[in-house]
Structure 1
Amino acid sequence: MASLVSDYDENTDRAVTELHKEFETFFVTLKTQTDQPDCNYDNHKTFYIESAVSVSSIEIRASAIDKNEKTVEQIGLLKQSMNTLQQLHELSCLSEGQIESLQSSFNSMFTAILRLELAKKRGS
């Protein structure tokens, strides 16, 4: 039977899981800095640079796999959300409420990407 989606890719699974850990660390760190000068964007530029590189790498790999359009689409949405997060942070420090909302949104995106990849593994 012909498959409509690509096979499971362990490298994508691992890379997305690792990126999720980096985002969790970022959000947890930001929550401790909401009322301190350390919260500003300049103190977190490295996170944004490294995350952009990671997402680009994941996107390139996913794009190179046949029948992987849905995963590529989800990674594209993640990339757009990262750009929005960066623009928001460049404007000012994020409040605890903003951080919690953003963390929840990013967790949903990471969950969706991983859920799709794991469904491929099960063949569903």
Structure 2
Amino acid sequence: MRAIYKNYCFPAALVLLVSGCSSVQLISNYDEATDRDAQALQRKFDSHLVSLQNSGEEGLKFKNNQKFYESASVDLTALKVRAEGIYKNKITIEQIDLATTNLAYLVLLNKRCTSIDKPLTAAQIQAVGEMGPDLSMDCNVDFGAEADRQARGEVTLERDAILPIKSMFNQLFGAIMAAELAKKRGDKSSKE
């Protein structure tokens, strides 16, 4: 009986020793491209919104901002595709989704498909989350608008909304960059 115990004891101790030396990864590693792209997007949004703050009525029209919204939407999609390819990157993906949702709200505000003063309904919030930015010239209920309306290109963004929107996007991209920098610090400490 004693010989059997000794044979089982050794492999069990070896398993415990090996598992004690392995690490568990709870979050993704630092990704330089994500950090760089988040910085570029923050700069792009900030520059555009500063430009809007200083523009005349013509610059606030949706038709004059549509190309920016299209470009920003493509950039966010590319950033998300990259983030989804990285193991354990849920936090960064959630932040990118939040930025995309807020871009969709900005587009709705620029076309005045929703109002700053009126809270969105649960159905509108769900539509925005599922569909993303509506980059057409129209207001579409399927994308979270209050009502279907056509030809919204001449509609202007309310100037009072620009500063809080700018602050919100800076916070969003700052959170992505802060998470990446925290991962970078974690990578260094785990290598030492």
- Answer yes or no: same fold by TM over 0.5: yes
Q: Which residue of 2 aligns with 1:37?
A: 58
Counting only pairs closer than 5 Å after superposition, residues 71-110 of structure 1 correspond to structure 2 as: 71-91=92-112, 92-110=155-173
Greater RCO structure (CA 8 Å; 6+ sep) = 1
Q: Which one-letter code corresponds to 1:64 in the other structure?
A: G
Q: Which residue of 1 aligns with 2:31?
A: 9
How far apart are the structure 2 equivalents of 1:84 and 1:67? 28
The Cα shift of 1:96 comes to 3.4
Q: Which of residues 108, 113, 122 in structure 1 aligns to 2:176? A: 113
Q: Which residue of 1 aligns with 2:186?
A: 123
> How many pairs were matched up?
123
The Cα shift of 1:2 comes to 1.6
How far apart are the structure 2 equivalents of 1:97 and 1:118? 33
Name structure 2 gaps, 5 residues minimum.
1-22, 113-154, 188-192
How far apart are the structure 2 equivalents of 1:98 and 1:75? 22
Name structure 1 gaps, 5 residues minimum.
none
Q: Which one-letter code corresponds to 1:101 in the other structure?
A: P
Q: Percent identity?
A: 35
The Cα shift of 1:95 comes to 3.2
The Cα shift of 1:114 comes to 0.7
Q: Which residue of 2 aligns with 1:51?
A: 72
Moved more, 42-51 or 85-94: 85-94
Q: Which of residues 37, 51, 65 in structure 1 aligns to 2:86? A: 65
Off by >3 Å, runs of 4+ in structure 1:
none
Task: Give TM-score, length-normalised by structure 1.
Answer: 0.94
Task: Give TM-score, length-normalised by structure 2.
Answer: 0.61
Q: Which one-letter code corresponds to 2:77 in the other structure?
A: S
Q: Which residue of 2 aligns with 1:22?
A: 44
How far apart are the structure 1 equivalents of 2:183 and 2:49? 29
- What secondary structure, in the 3-state scheme, does the structure 1 residue paired with 2:88 have? coil
The Cα shift of 1:3 comes to 1.7
How far apart are the structure 2 equivalents of 1:96 and 1:52? 22
The Cα shift of 1:90 comes to 1.4
